[in-house]
Structure 1
Amino acid sequence: MDVDLRKLRYFVAVAEELHFGRAAERLHIAQPVLSRQIRALEDELRAQLFVRTKRATELTPAGRQLLDDARPLLASAEAVRRRVTQAVRGPKTFTVGFMPGITVTPAVRAFAAAHPEVEVEVIRTTWDDQVDVLHDGRVDVSIVRLPIDQQGLSIRPLFEEPRVAMLPSDHRLAGKPVIDIADLADEHLLQEPDAVPEWRDIALELRTRGPKPLPVLRSVEEKLEHVASGTGISILPLSVATFYHRADVAAVPVNDLATNKVCLAWIASRRSRLLYDFANLATTVEWIPQR
């Protein structure tokens, strides 16, 4: 049985929205059409994907499994479409993704000089999509900040840099020349605890009252707004903290925090001379974090 990618896209929309009406609006189709397509997919898979009540729509165990499998499958299909389109339209383009605080100019200029026939483009990424842009074909290579899901990727280390604690400017620790991670034990971290294992291991809120829900933060600017308002603290690479400097937030060095590792990543299965040329060149240029 061949799985219809269109039905998979419809399914992912409903699974992410958990609401058929909102999913239909997002897909720009009528809700009855969407419902029929989901029923058809369930018939094809011989599995119930959703439980619908008057109050809510929820994924079944089969639905959760399909969502885990559907996202990378759809990303791969989109990557194929993008690369075929790129091959047809010409001239060749090569796209580099990069995270906040990282200056890619030296590597891009050196690559462009070595390949004047190639149009080089850059895309700024976030913690949420720095790997997604590789899998869906938006970029050829991505300058990523670890940790990431490295499955299916080739990784080449580039440099490391310190991380600092971002605190409200009136915080009791603001202005200290350096602190220990233990000094932050009673703070609320505006990140997934696994992203800062040093804090996770000593955090009082994880040991006693349980973690507070994390707000959805899609950018550094949003994260710093929450820090400035006193909602919590954040741990950022030094270059990011410096680049996004603001008077109402203090960046404080922390003694016992591991450095942030910056790497070049690309899809391991790809065989492209341009890709390998950029990867080899990336290890020879001087990577200067934004200051």
Structure 2
Amino acid sequence: MTDVDLRKLRYFVAVAEHLHFGRAAASLHIAQPVLSRQIRALENELKATLFERDRRSTALTPAGRQLLADAPSLLAGAEALRRRVRRAARGPRVFTVGFMPGLIVTAAVRELGARHPGLSVELVRTTWEDQVDVIRDGRVDVGYLRPPADLRGLTVRPLFTEPRVVVLPGDHRLAGREGIAAADLADEHLLQNPDAVPEWRDIGVEMRRRNRPAAPVFHSVEEKLEHVAAGRGLVILPLSVATFYTRPDIAYVPVEDLAPTAVHLAWDAARRNPLLTEFAEIAASEAAAVPR
């Protein structure tokens, strides 16, 4: 696999995603015959047929499905390498930290900078959708993660856990309570993917409806809170996120029988930069010093 041309691999992913050579070629801005030749060349290199194709359809073979499962990590690793090399070529050393909403990482960042005066420590705010992607493609060196997250290929350092709360419209019947049970929310509509709240599959009445609405796609905490304030449903968030985004038209209430959520520090397991382990020790020390 180390001899596979990454350009051909990108071409393969495009065809696998579209399952149509014409549309894939258009997305890549190349001619379809060129794309077909590149895919044939890749199949020759791998000694495997990747697509079943006829005049009406294109489908992945078992070998193609396996390559599609592995290709994103290979391409992300190559992109990460390019980013790090470009950063190193620009001059002063840079160390970039990704952090999720509600997390305050100032103390750890300042401590690393103080220990290494020639190091530029930069920050990137991430989301539930890209928190792992930015590590794999090299946009950040290390990231603070919240579950659920795909941790394959990462070195993970647990930092702390915190309670989860339900965020409700300010005039909701449960707003103002000091605490509730998850069962109190059974008839409500969850405005997020149930994978983020696994317990919802057991308590949510809507999970047993055939025509239950799909969870909308949100790109920020602010979008979620706007929908909650408008009375369209509820979200479950870590306590630190809810308190960070406090506003007068919503309320957050602890859910006493939901398991706490974790915050981890993670980085690419293949990397051996000593700054990674140093920052992890600093982050763990700072997290332990904060009362929870």
TM-score (norm: length of structure 1): 0.84
Partner of 2:71: 70
Q: What are the equivalent positions in structure 2 for 1:250-269 lying under 5 Å apart?
A: 250-269=251-270
Question: Which has the higher mean CA deviation after the structures are superposed, 108-117 or 202-211?
Answer: 202-211
Q: Structure 1 residue 131: deviation in Å?
A: 1.3
Q: Cα distance 1:20–1:224, how it changes in 2: closer, same or farther (>3 A)?
A: farther
Q: Is 1:203 matched with 2:198?
A: no
For structure 2, the 5+ residue unaligned runs are none
What amino acid maps onto 2:214 in structure 1?
P
Q: State the SS of the aligned residue for 2:223.
A: helix
Q: Cα distance 1:21–1:85, how it changes in 2: closer, same or farther (>3 A)?
A: same
Q: Cα distance 1:258–1:37, how it changes in 2: closer, same or farther (>3 A)?
A: same
- Report how many aligned residue pairs link the two structures: 288
Partner of 1:49: 51
Partner of 1:137: 138
Deviations 1:252-287 (A, max 9, x none): 221111112112111223211211211111122257
Structure 1 CA distance for aligned equivalents of residues 98 and 52 of structure 2: 36
Q: Cα distance 1:230–1:142, how it changes in 2: closer, same or farther (>3 A)?
A: same
Q: Structure 1 residue 13: deviation in Å?
A: 3.5
Structure 1 CA distance for aligned equivalents of residues 10 and 155 of structure 2: 28
Deviations 1:91-134 (A, max 9, x none): 21111111010111111111100000111111111111111111
CA contact (8 A) 2:135 2:267 kept: yes
Q: State the SS of the aligned residue for 1:70.
A: helix
CA contact (8 A) 1:103 1:288 kept: no
Structure 2 CA distance for aligned equivalents of residues 13 and 78 of structure 1: 17
Deviations 1:4-31 (A, max 9, x none): 2112223334444566676556544456
Q: Cα distance 1:245–1:28, how it changes in 2: closer, same or farther (>3 A)?
A: farther
Structure 1 CA distance for aligned equivalents of residues 168 and 53 of structure 2: 43
Partner of 2:161: 160
Q: Between the two proteins, what is the percent identity of the paired residues? A: 66
Partner of 1:96: 97
Q: State the SS of the aligned residue for 1:247.
A: coil
Superposed CA RMSD in Å reads 2.9
CA contact (8 A) 2:49 2:61 kept: no
What amino acid maps onto 1:134 in structure 2?
I
What amino acid maps onto 1:206 in structure 2?
M
Q: Is 1:127 matched with 2:158?
A: no
Q: Is 1:270 matched with 2:274?
A: no
Partner of 2:84: 83
Q: Structure 1 residue 169: deviation in Å?
A: 3.0
Partner of 2:186: 185
Q: Cα distance 1:265–1:42, how it changes in 2: closer, same or farther (>3 A)?
A: same
Structure 1 CA distance for aligned equivalents of residues 41 and 248 of structure 2: 56
For structure 1, the 5+ residue unaligned runs are none
Q: Structure 1 residue 143: deviation in Å?
A: 1.0
CA contact (8 A) 2:101 2:127 kept: yes
Structure 1 CA distance for aligned equivalents of residues 52 and 10 of structure 2: 15
Deviations 1:111-160 (A, max 9, x none): 10000011111111111111111111111111111332222222222222
CA contact (8 A) 2:148 2:195 kept: no
Structure 2 CA distance for aligned equivalents of residues 18 and 244 of structure 1: 42
Deviations 1:14-58 (A, max 9, x none): 44456667655654445664455445545655424376887x876
Q: Structure 1 residue 223: deviation in Å?
A: 2.1
What amino acid maps onto 2:72 in structure 1?
R
Partner of 2:223: 222
Q: What are the equivalent positions in structure 2 for 1:101-112 lying under 5 Å apart?
A: 101-112=102-113
Q: State the SS of the aligned residue for 2:199.
A: helix
Structure 1 CA distance for aligned equivalents of residues 184 and 150 of structure 2: 30
TM-score (norm: length of structure 2): 0.84
Deviations 1:213-263 (A, max 9, x none): 222222212222333334432111122112223333322221111112112
Deviations 1:156-202 (A, max 9, x none): 22222221112233433233332110111122323332321222222
